[in-house]
Chains A and B, each alone.
Chain A
Amino acid sequence: MLKDITLGQYFPIESFLHKLDPRTKILIFILDIVIIFMAQTAVSYAVLIGFTFLLMLISRVPVKMYIKGLKPILYIIIFTAILNLFLTDGRDLPVFGYSIGITVEGAIVAVKMAVRLVLLIIASSALTYTTSPMALTDGIEKLLKPLSRIGFPSHELAMMMSIAIKFVPTLIEETDKIIKAQKARGASFDTGSIFKRAKALIPMLVPLFISAFRRADDLAIAMESRCYTGGDGRTRLREIKFTRTDLIGALAFLVIFAGVIAIDIVF
């Protein structure tokens, strides 16, 4: 059950997207988010939807995986759509001749938001499926490097992120084990009132926190005993490089994004 979480999982195959420099992908991703929220007309949305399909296609990750990634967010999408549907002011939109409080504007906003969220999730899945967590944090560190001149701890931030990402599977496994052990002692996590269920979490959370702190302590000692002192003067085993492929990829994406903006301005 807990092991089925797919969001943020790397899918180790080979594709054009896998080969791109993580920095290129991160920048394209950020740009994509901005464009998704800037787009206004139906035509520009059509282009963005087409672009997202293109992303899925060239990532060569099975579509099934993207759908799996959408599942946990489905309720949020439905929830926001319903809120938008009823809470937007505007002209009344009768359903089968009855007025039930839905507005034309509300329906448009609801669809727009739902499409935006789905596109966002798919784009972020495309980023994480094609970029290993290590490459991702390396990319973020490199992108934030200029900020370290003004005292921004870019290396430390990247290190914290990669440690956090690395420990997610470990902690999931640990949680699974603790739940099983407490179940073996007759604990039940899925019966009773909400209050009772919240209380039932204590036997799971206390051991989980204790083990997380213990791991953090061990890791700190292990890093220090190998003379880790932060980012200064640290070299890498695998340098990330901006290549011709990146240039081609970045240009292609920029053309698509420019197209979307142009369409919005023209229409």
Chain B
Amino acid sequence: MAIKIENLDYIYMPGSPFEKKALDNINLQIDDGEFVGLIGHTGSGKSTLVQHLNGLLKPHSGNVIINGYSTDTKGEELKRLRCDVGLVFQYPEHQLFEETVYKDIAFGPQNLGLSKEEIDVRVRDAARCVGLPEDVLDKSPFDLSGGQKRRVAIAGVISMRPNVLVLDEPTAGLDPAGREAILSQIKSIYDEGNMTVILVSHSMEDVARLVKRLIVMNEGKVFADGTVEEVFSRGAELRNIGLNVPQVNILFDELVSRGMDINSNVYTVEAAKRELLAYFEKVKEGKENA
């Protein structure tokens, strides 16, 4: 299930005074089972790019090829594409509409024309995936808390069992606890399934902790593409386009510049803890030896 994007251009409202080039010659390849973070400033084109992945937007020039098929199709083939690539929009809880959580999660599988038994299996499985307890399924989605609503909406996409799961800012507007919960759920979904996950975010902390590969967008172009370490090692360039490296990395850079003998390529709190403990251990040993 490889995603291949070739020379992709997309223009908003072509021919009008409001014309704007949203994507400019994008070339990307994302392989099966990758966990990719897509970061960029507001208006950098990241949301436009992900809408190309399931054919909601069609390229003005260039190609988007999912698993060998172009997204520029219609009818049944387009339906299969939508089923292959699950897209969770920003604030997905705003799209809930059914009377019960169960029915809402079942909406996607129903559109795929699955049997009742299969739908039931998928709904319960998707609910478990996002950590929704069984008794919530019969409640109205509008009685739930913000974080739970969002889980229901994400479950609504997971229940279609896509091969690629794209999440556009899944933690926007949640409190720290809700954010933490959603992110760890996404991590466990990635760990258990054979899904490719693409996480769109502007939180450096979130992506640094979760993803393996990072794609940075700026003004409709791919600005950087590589492992988390590779991308964040270009801190100065990232700052130039209005982005930043994770805060813990800023702290470590500062510590190194003040003469502490530690490795500054640290991007998560977990790694920072290990690095600091090892450092203090070393210092203690040094004192004992002296």
A184 close to B13 (CB less than 8 A): no
Nearest CB on B from A190, distance (A): 11
Residues of chain B contacted by A186 (CB below 8 angstroms): 79, 82-83, 107-108, 111-112, 160
Give the interface segment out of B35-43, B86-94, B191-199. B86-94
Given contacts A177-B89, A180-B89, contact A185 B96 (CB under 8 A): no
Q: Which residues of B contact A211 (CB under 8 A)?
A: 94
Closest residue of A by beta carbon distance from B96: A207
CB of A206 within 8 Å of the partner chain:
yes
Which label, helix, strand, loop or mixed, suits the secondary structure of the A interface? helix
Find the residue from A186, A188, A202 having the highest chain B CB count within 10 A. A186
- Interface residues of B toward A: which range? 20 to 34
| Residue from A177, A184, A188 with most neighbouring chain B CB atoms (10 Å) | A184
Which residues of chain A come closer than 8 Å to B69, judged between CB atoms? Answer: none
A182 close to B (CB within 8 Å)? yes
Say whether A3 contacts B13, CB under 8 Å: yes
B94→A178 contact, CB < 8 A: yes
A window 185-219: CB within 8 A of B? 185-188, 202-203, 206-207, 210-211
Does chain A have a CB within 8 A of B54? yes
Determine the chain B residues whose CB is within 8 A of the CB of A202 once the complex forms. Answer: 97
Question: In the complex, how many angstroms separate the beta carbon of A13 from the nearest chain B beta carbon?
Answer: 10
Q: Is the CB of A185 within 8 A of B89?
A: no
Instruction: State A188–B13 Cα separation when bound (angstroms).
Output: 24
Complex-state Cα separation, A180 to B91, whole angstroms: 13
Interface residues on A, range: 10 to 19
User: Are B97's CB and A187's CB within 8 A?
Assistant: no
Instruction: Quote the shortest CB–CB distance from B119 to chain A (angstroms).
Output: 12
Is the CB–CB distance between B94 and A184 below 8 Å? no
Whether A76 sits at the interface, judged by CB under 8 Å, is: no
In the bound complex, what is the Cα–Cα distance between A102 and B111 (angstroms)?
50
The CA-CA distance from A82 to B175 in the complex, in Å, is 61
| B51 interface residue (CB < 8 Å to A) | yes
Contacts A/B (CB < 8 Å), 17 sampled: A180-B56, A181-B87, A182-B95, A184-B82, A184-B157, A186-B83, A186-B107, A186-B108, A186-B111, A186-B160, A188-B79, A188-B111, A203-B97, A207-B94, A210-B94, A210-B142, A211-B94
In the A-B complex, the 8 residue pairs with the smallest Cβ-Cβ separation, listed nearest first, are: A186-B111, A206-B97, A185-B108, A184-B87, A181-B95, A181-B89, A203-B97, A180-B56
Give me the interface of B with A, judged by CB distance under 8 Å. Answer: 13, 51, 54, 56, 79, 82-83, 86-87, 89, 92, 94-97, 107-108, 111-112, 142, 156-157, 160
